[in-house]
Each structure stands twice: as C-alpha cells, then as structure tokens.
C-alpha cells in the first residue's frame, strides 16, 4: 500500500465501520477526563530543561507533562451534513443490517462529529489548533484537562499553514508559550513531547526526538519539524514541546501507509505559527508581504550560464508582472541573493521571508544582474490582495522561420503553428515544434508547444537572434545558455549545453 500524508484529525464514526475505514482513525465511546489540575493565570513553562542524566537524557517526562498538560485541550466539532445520499445498490446477503445506519434517503440533515487537539496560549482563552480540525464546523467544544468544557469561537484561520485561532470565554487560564523552533532547544536529535487526543481516547502524551527540520509537504509556507514521537489521528492541532515546556510546533500530519503512526510525524514550526497567530489575533486574517515576482530554484548547470553566479543559491526571477518588484526595477533574469540581509538559499526561503514581512514595509534585496550585485529597495504589497491579479506578460507575433539547435526544432510563430499548439495569437518568441528524445532538452522536460522567450536574458524573436546569443556565449567561454521558457503562460528558466547548439 502506498504511503501517504494524512492530516491527523479523527472522525467520530460508528464502531462497526472500523474494519472498512483503512487510514481513518476512529473514536469509540466518550472521552474520559483525567485528574483535575488547579488553573493558574501564569504560563506553565518550566524555568529550566527537565533533565537528569549528564548526557541530557531525561529520566522521566512526568514532571514536564504535569506542568504543561493543563494548557492542552481536546476539541470536538459538530457539522450539520445534508441528508439524502440516494438509493444504495443491492447488498450481499447478511450486510443489510450492517449498512442500515448509513442510509439517509429522506433528506433529513444529520450531524457529523470530529475530534482534534489544541493548546491555550493566553490566560484570556486564545487557543491554537489546525484549520482542518475546525473547518466547516457549526459548533466547537473545547475540553480542558480538568474536565471542564467550553464553547469556542473562531477568531481566524489560515489554510496556507493549516493554523486556526480559537477563543473561549475564560480568565486566568493555564497557558503555554511558544519557543524558538530554529533555536538550540530544537536541534535534530533533541527530545520532544507531543500531547493531544489521539484516536479520540482523551489526553495523551508521547515522547520522541526531532528527526529533521525544515521539511516541506505541499504548502507554500511549509516549515515542518519531523518527529518520531507518536502522532495519530486526533492529535491534529496539539502542541509539540521542547524540554523547556515551550511549544516549538503544532502537530499536523503523518506519513503512513495505514493511517497510524509509524514514527514519521510533522509539526508546523513555531517560527511560522507565531507570526500567523499574531496576525489572526490582530486582524482575524493573514496579511502577508508580497514582492510580485515569479521565481524558480537555481540548478548547478545554471551556474556557468549566469555571469557572476558562484553557486546554485538564490532565487531566479522568471517573470515580473505589474506590482512592487516591477515598480522597484527588478527584472526577469535577476537572481535574488539576500532579503533584508538574510541569505537566500532557495525559493522556499524567499517566499517565507517575504510572507513574514509587514505589508507596506520597504525592504532591501541584493540582486545579481549582468555579473554585478546591486541593492534594490522594494515596498511590499499584500499577497492576499494581489495573487489573483498576476497575469503573464503579453507578447507579439514574429515572422515564420524554422531551424534546429540545442536538441530542439524551433520555429518563429505562424498562425497555423499557434493554432496547432493552442498558443495566443500574440505569442512572442520561438516555438518548440519537436524535441530530440536523446537531447539534454528532453531530459530537462522541454516539449512541443513550449516558447523560448529569452536566451541569456536577452529577448529572442527570430532563429537568427537565438544563434547570435549562442555564438556570443560560446565566444565568452560559456558551456551552457540560459533560456526563459513559457508554457501555458507560466515562465521558467532552463540551462542547456551549447555543444548541442549545432
């Protein structure tokens, strides 16, 4: 069975369905509250790491669990689901009674419940959890370690990081504080403690180590801590503690072939969560910085093709639509090396740094252009307002002519060619009509219908112009040429060896 990334929210379902729901956790029976703890208006974070061995290994996690557990909560959500699933097909003999509970053909709405976890971050009742725990919920009920329950309201959500902020009507509630997920108490190999409501069984603690940091799953702003502490369905939204009792992550997902823990769990880092929570608390929504560029990672074979580039570090600008970057003078082909003094290793890092910067703030970037590093100041916009308005630059037509080079059959745009590949009538550049399957271009994924818009950061409109750029690169001693490729309007850079230029 193929392993898959699964969110760790647990659905409450009939016990009889357990055998049929592979990969889905089940909560059978009621949650049993554990021993009541006295509430306090102060943070429950220990003052020093809880260790007893000379090598730093804790003899027991009991003291840490006792101190932080009053701030961890179980979350139950209820959603009204429309009835009327329609007629069911004929069932094998003996299965009619089993499936009777799933029939609902009279259109009557029914309630569906799900379970998750969370933790209190302030004495007045702000609670952090995962967005997928409470998404679509009509009612949210929070149960404290003491057994007390309260109704919660949604303050704000951020689907991009899967974080939600809730609020209960409380005072002097026990709470925990965020720690530094990039700091010395969150190194690979350090002990961590996960808490939550696995499989709907109530308050639970598991221990492990940090297996890896800076993991990405599928989101733009992903910065996950990987841990082997047991995380299961229902742990979603629960805290991942360091040995100081500080929250360094929010348990979010697991990698598993069967829906159960196999020691590969993921917690969104506090470095991301703290900023998101602060914005949700202040605005009820996120307000991320926006630079207004399309970017891609650099590859080793691009280093030789870009003048002045020493290594494959930075973010390569592929397009600059209308927006803050265009107004500041950033161009396609620029390599962004630093952001506010922070070195940029890849596009992920740049996106996170820009997103965390305040909207309207003027920031300084170091950009490599034509072999020279230059500072550029940009006043950031707001991503949420601008995302939908970014459009690919318009292009214009050229005269029809074809040739073969770089392992590609290339043609200057002609009406019949544009129609064949479904390209815009104003397409500007050279159209790829065929790709040599044994060429480097094929290895890089180029395909018929792609359009070469630039070569070595110079616009090319004719085969002759492309040949001039390739000849100039060869005379300069370069081994490859950097091409800007557009596919369905989306740009990306590809470096191809000049020895295939013919």
Q: How many CB atoms lie within 10 A of CB 463?
A: 19
Active-site residue among 6, 39, 158, 162? 162
DSSP 173-240: --B--B--TTSTTS-TT-EEEEEE-GGG--SEEEEEEEEEEEE-SS-TT--EEEE-S---TT-TT-EE
Active-site residue among 236, 261, 411, 456? 236
From the list 68, 70, 105, the residue with the least C-alpha distance to 86 is: 105
Active-site residue among 117, 132, 275, 304? 132
Is 313 labelled a binding residue? no
List, in order, residues 6 or more apart from 484 with CB less than 8 Å away: 318, 332, 333, 452, 453, 454, 455, 457, 491, 492, 493
Express the helix, strand and coil content of the chain in percent, nearest 5 each.
Answer: 20, 35, 45
The pairing of strands 247-256 and 126-130 is unpaired
Alpha helices in 29-71 (DSSP H): 62-68
Is 259 labelled a binding residue? no
From the list 161, 171, 175, 158, the residue with the least C-alpha distance to 283 is: 158
Please check whether residue 267 is in contact with residue 249, taking contact to mean a CB–CB distance below 8 angstroms: yes
Q: How many CB atoms lie within 10 A of CB 149?
A: 16
CA atoms of 152 and 119, how far apart (whole Å)? 13
Is 118 labelled a binding residue? no
Q: What are phi and psi of 456, to 5 degrees?
A: 50, 40
Tokens 């209820």 correspond to 78
Please check whether residue 335 is in contact with residue 302, taking contact to mean a CB–CB distance below 8 angstroms: no
Q: What are phi and psi of 353, to 5 degrees?
A: -65, -45
Residue 313 bears catalytic tag: no
Residue 162 bears catalytic tag: yes
Is 83 labelled a binding residue? no
Residue 132 bears catalytic tag: yes
Q: How far is CA 500 from CA 343, 481, 496, in A?
A: 34, 11, 8
Is 297 labelled a binding residue? no
- Tokens describing residue 129: 């959890």
Question: Given CA atoms 485, 490, 491, 497 in this order, what sign does their dihedral have?
Answer: negative
Binding-site residue numbers are: 132, 162, 234-236
Binding-site residue numbers for substrate are: 132, 162, 234-236
Q: Which residues are catalytic?
A: 132, 162, 236
């Amino acid at each position: 069975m193929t392993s898959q990334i699964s969110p760790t929210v647990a659905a409450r379902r009939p016990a009889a369905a357990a055998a049929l729901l592979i990969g889905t956790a089940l909560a059978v029976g009621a949650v049993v509250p554990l021993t009541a703890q006295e509430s306090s208006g102060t943070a429950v974070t220990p003052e020093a790491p809880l260790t007893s061995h000379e090598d730093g290994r804790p003899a027991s996690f009991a003291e840490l669990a006792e101190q932080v557990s009053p701030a961890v909560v179980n979350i139950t959500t209820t959603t009204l689901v429309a009835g009327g699933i329609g007629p069911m097909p004929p069932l094998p003999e003996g299965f009619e009674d089993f499936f009777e509970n799933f029939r609902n053909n009279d259109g009557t709405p029914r309630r569906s419940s799900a379970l998750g976890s969370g933790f209190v971050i302030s004495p007045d009742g702000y609670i952090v959890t995962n967005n997928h725990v409470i998404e679509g919920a009509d009612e949210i009920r929070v149960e404290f370690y003491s057994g007390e329950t309260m109704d919660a309201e949604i303050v704000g959500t951020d689907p991009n990081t899967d974080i939600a902020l809730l609020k209960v009507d409380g005072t002097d509630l026990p709470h925990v504080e965020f720690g530094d997920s990039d700091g010395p108490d969150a190194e690979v190999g350090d002990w961590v403690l996960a808490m939550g409501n696995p499989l709907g069984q109530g308050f639970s603690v598991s221990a492990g180590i940090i297996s890896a940091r800076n993991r990405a799953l599928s989101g733009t702003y992903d910065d996950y801590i990987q841990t082997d502490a047991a995380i299961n369905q229902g742990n979603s939204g629960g805290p991942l503690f360091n040995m100081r009792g500080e929250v360094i992550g929010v348990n979010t997902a697991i990698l598993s072939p069967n829906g159960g823990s196999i020691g590969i769990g993921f917690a969104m880092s506090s470095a991301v969560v703290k900023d998101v929570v602060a914005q949700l608390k202040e605005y009820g929504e996120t307000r991320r910085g926006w630079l207004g560029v399309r970017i891609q990672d650099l590859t080793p074979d691009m280093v030789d093709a870009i003048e002045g580039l020493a290594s494959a570090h930075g973010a390569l600008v592929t397009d600059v639509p209308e927006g803050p970057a265009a107004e500041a003078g950033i161009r396609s082909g620029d390599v962004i090396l630093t952001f506010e003094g922070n070195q940029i290793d890849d596009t992920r890092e740049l996106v996170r740094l820009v997103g965390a910067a305040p909207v309207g703030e003027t920031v300084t970037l170091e950009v490599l252009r034509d072999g020279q590093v230059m500072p550029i100041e940009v006043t950031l916009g707001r991503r949420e307002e601008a995302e939908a308005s970014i459009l690919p630059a318009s292009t214009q037509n050229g005269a029809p002519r074809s040739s073969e080079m770089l392992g590609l059959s290339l043609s200057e745009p002609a009406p019949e060619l544009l129609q064949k590949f479904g390209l815009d009538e104003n397409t500007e550049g050279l159209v790829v009509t065929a790709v040599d399957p044994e060429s480097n271009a094929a290895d890089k994924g180029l395909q018929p219908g792609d359009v070469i818009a630039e070569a070595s950061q110079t616009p090319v409109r004719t085969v002759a112009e492309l040949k001039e750029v390739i000849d100039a690169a060869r005379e300069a001693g370069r081994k490859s040429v950097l091409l800007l490729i557009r596919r369905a309007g989306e740009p990306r850079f590809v470096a191809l060896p000049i020895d295939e230029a013919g």
